[in-house]
Amino acid sequence: MVIPGPVSSRPLTQLSAAYDEVMASGAGPDLKVGSTTTRMYDLVNRRPARGPAFDDVYTFPPLIEACRRVIGEPFKLSSLLGRTLRPGSPAQELHVDLARDSPDGPMVGFILMIDAFTSEKGATRFVPASHYWPDAPSDRLTDTRASFPGERAACGEAGSLVIFNGAIWHGHLANSSREPRRSIQGYFVRRDAHSGLDFSVRMSPETRARLSPFARYLLSLE
């Protein structure tokens, strides 16, 4: 689903500026430059000059409620990253983030749109109800980049939030525009499941001191 995101208390322009600052200053193993996207991992520990900008994203109440309903037991944040889809990038292959029968499932994914998501700008496409299917796209399809019957693009204005089941078939469309498409994305998993990042060993004293008790709980710090 696509809903209004957690930007009412923090102007989108400020969040956008913080995103650009963090992505521009990135270096080391957390910065991944691929053929179509640039990713910066662990936004939890990134503090832009204007102050914390990303904590409101993963503590957003409607997102937490979705995790309660889908995961159904205590859960934790598995990852939080910035991702920029470069202009001219081709469509991504349909894939799943976590197999339906994975011992670490279920997973709840989310994408905050820093820029508007449109079909021309590489919005993420989803295949409805595919999270109930036993197979992955690569098991069934000869061309996982091709359009799939019934797929839907998750389009929305900047500041919108996409929430989805990690087992659903999905992948971004081609960015045929001349502008990058920026987003913040992450995942929640069961509290006893494998995590993409172990925040307990990465946490800086500065970050730990600023976090609310609820944020520390979601990061499995206590």
Predicted pLDDT at 124: 98
pLDDT at 47: 74
Separation CA 160–CA 146 (nearest Å): 26
* pLDDT winner (highest mean) among 12-16, 54-58, 75-79: 75-79
Please report the DSSP string for 81-95 in residue order.
EEEEEPTTPPPPPPB
Q: Quick one: what percent of the chain has pLDDT higher than 90?
A: 79
Q: Residue 149's pLDDT is what?
A: 96
Please tell me the distance from the alpha carbon of residue 47 to that of residue 207, in angstroms, as a whole number.
Answer: 8
Mean pLDDT value across residues 152-167: 97
Whether 196 has a pLDDT exceeding 60, the answer reads: yes
Q: Provide the token pair at 188.
A: 């929640």
Three-class DSSP category at 200: helix
The CATH number of the domain covering residues in 2-218: 2.60.120.620
Percent of the chain's residues with pLDDT above 70:
97
Strand order in the sheet with 37-41: 2-4, 160-165, 108-113, 181-190, 75-85, 37-41, 31-33
Mean model confidence pLDDT for the chain: 93
Contact 156, 117 (CB under 8 A): yes
Q: Tell me the domain boundaries of the chain.
A: 2-218
User: pLDDT tens-digit profile of 39-57?
Assistant: 999 999 887 755 667 899 9
- Return the closest-CA partner of residue 171 out of 187, 191, 189, 151: 151
Distance CA 110, CA 58 (A): 9
pLDDT at 9: 45
Tell whether the model's pLDDT for residue 139 goes beyond 80: yes
The more confident residue out of 51 and 194 is 194
155 to 11, 42, 126: CA distances (angstroms): 21, 25, 11
Give the CA distances from residue 205 to residues 48, 200, 221, in Å, rounded to whole numbers and listed in that order.
Answer: 16, 11, 12
Q: What is the pLDDT of residue 26?
A: 76
pTM over 0.85: yes
